[in-house]
């Protein structure tokens, strides 16, 4: 069958980052009202990279490793990005991006959706390479925004098409309500001037459903998902490709991974209490569930849950409140099935501020729960 009867169109990939983000993908289109098969994104041969700038001059290039996508026969296209698979080449930076920037405990994925026009791709089988403008919707951090970008679509062989960005796509952090999370990254990494815009590039391969390429993707999916992240990359290294195992797929963490996760979870500021109370707000559950998962995968470490307050109120009242709040978090973790011997709790009142108690924002930073891990006694 001639490729012209198969072609349909790739969907969108957008952007993402060390400070902002994500992606556009696309797919080939059939001239006859998408009468052909669906098209499946090949994750092993596709890349999504993003660049961020810190200290005004330092450019970092990272990837989102777990990407999936599908273009239906009617032209509806969707590409999904697993934000827990962010790969900076360094585990600690990965965890900061996940928990502090993307807040994957609440927003684990980003998606790009679009509807393709068959007429735009009618000449692809003849030209074999063409540039087309695409309009798509990016859903990131719970926000939808319509974006545009040019894609270079290349017919690789019958039943296989490449869709690549013609130029990097700029995505503005502010558009997705992520500016406060830039501040968290800066504080955690002790850096300044992270530019609140990311540049995203992509190179996706789509295979026609039922083709040899699509069958290979389906049969290789379980093995690919078990692939470990590549060694730390440099700014000049080729982008890492293919799926990686995320935390959800790991049975246990190394000690370094445990310590990295406890350090970053302590900085989320996403554990909430009612005013002057040790009663946990239901909005705390997403990050507390992450804490439970980490503790359960670090059985050789004992975890202290530490409570802190701002300076409002008396020293004695703040000491008692910090103890009760730390105890409430420890109780939540124990109730989830963590052995009591692996947990302890302590309150430190207003004694260890991380900021001056001079503004509401600074006081909010001081009202916090932290997690510290030490080796369990034999």
What pairs with residue 370 in β-bridges? 306
Q: What is the rounded end-to-end Cα distance, in angstroms, of the chain?
A: 68
Tell me how crowded residue 255 is: count the other CB atoms within 10 A of its CB.
12
Rounded to the nearest 10 degrees, how much is the dihedral formed by the CA atoms of 131, 132, 137, 141?
Answer: 10
H runs (alpha helix) in the chain: 91-96, 124-127, 179-189, 212-225, 255-265, 285-296, 315-335, 360-366
Longest CA–CA separation in the chain, Å: 80
To which H or E segment does residue 369 belong? Answer: strand 368-375
pTM, two decimal places = 0.84
**Is residue 41 a contact partner of residue 48, using CB atoms and an 8 Å limit?**
no
Q: What is the pLDDT of residue 228?
A: 42
Place of tokens 């296989």: 160
Tell me the torsion sign for CA atoms 90, 93, 97, 98. Answer: positive
**Is residue 70 a contact partner of residue 42, using CB atoms and an 8 Å limit?**
no
pLDDT along the chain (378 residues), means of 10: 34 29 35 60 94 87 95 89 97 97 98 85 86 93 95 91 93 95 93 90 91 59 42 48 94 97 97 94 97 97 97 96 98 97 97 93 95 87
> Can you read off the two tokens belonging to residue 220?
């290789």
Q: What is the pLDDT of residue 347?
A: 97
Which is it for strands 343-347 and 301-308: parallel, antiparallel or unpaired? parallel
Q: Which domains does the chain have, with CATH numbers?
A: 3-246 (2.40.128.110), 250-375 (3.30.1330.60)
What is the Cα–Cα distance from 281 to 358, expressed in whole angstroms? 25
């Amino acid at each position: 069958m001639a490729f012209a009867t198969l072609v349909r169109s790739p969907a969108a990939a957008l952007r993402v980052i060390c400070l902002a983000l994500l992606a556009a993908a696309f797919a080939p289109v059939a001239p006859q009202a998408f009468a052909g098969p669906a098209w499946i994104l090949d994750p092993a041969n596709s890349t999504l990279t993003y660049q961020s700038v810190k200290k005004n001059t330092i450019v970092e290039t990272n990837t989102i490793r777990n990407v999936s996508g599908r273009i239906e026969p009617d032209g509806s296209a969707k590409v999904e990005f697993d934000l827990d698979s962010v790969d900076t080449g360094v585990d600690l930076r990965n965890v900061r991006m996940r928990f502090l920037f993307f807040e994957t405990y609440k927003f684990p994925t980003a998606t790009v959706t679009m509807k393709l026009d068959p007429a735009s791709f009618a000449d692809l089988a003849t030209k074999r390479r063409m540039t087309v403008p695409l309009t798509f919707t990016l859903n990131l951090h719970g926000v939808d925004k319509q974006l545009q970008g040019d894609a270079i679509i290349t017919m690789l062989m019958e039943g296989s098409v490449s869709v690549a960005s013609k130029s990097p796509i700029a995505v503005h952090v502010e558009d997705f309500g992520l500016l406060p999370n830039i501040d968290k990254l800066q504080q955690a990494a002790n850096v300044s001037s992270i530019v609140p815009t990311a540049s995203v590039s992509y190179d996706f391969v789509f295979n026609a459903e039922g083709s040899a390429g699509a069958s290979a993707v389906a049969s290789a999916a379980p093995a690919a998902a078990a692939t470990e992240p590549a060694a730390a990359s440099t700014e000049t290294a080729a982008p890492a490709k293919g799926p990686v195992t995320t935390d959800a797929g790991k049975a246990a963490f190394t000690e370094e991974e445990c310590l990295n996760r406890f350090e970053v979870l302590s900085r989320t500021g996403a554990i909430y209490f009612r005013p002057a109370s040790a009663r946990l707000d239901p909005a705390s559950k997403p990050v507390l569930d992450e804490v439970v998962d980490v503790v359960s995968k670090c059985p050789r470490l004992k975890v202290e849950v530490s409570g802190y307050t701002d300076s409002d109120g008396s020293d004695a009242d703040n000491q008692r409140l910090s103890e009760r709040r730390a105890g409430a978090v420890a109780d939540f973790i124990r109730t989830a099935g963590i052995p009591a011997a692996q947990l302890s709790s302590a309150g430190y009142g207003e004694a260890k501020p991380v900021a001056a108690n001079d503004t509401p924002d600074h006081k909010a930073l001081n009202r916090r729960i932290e997690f510290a891990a030490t080796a369990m006694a034999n």
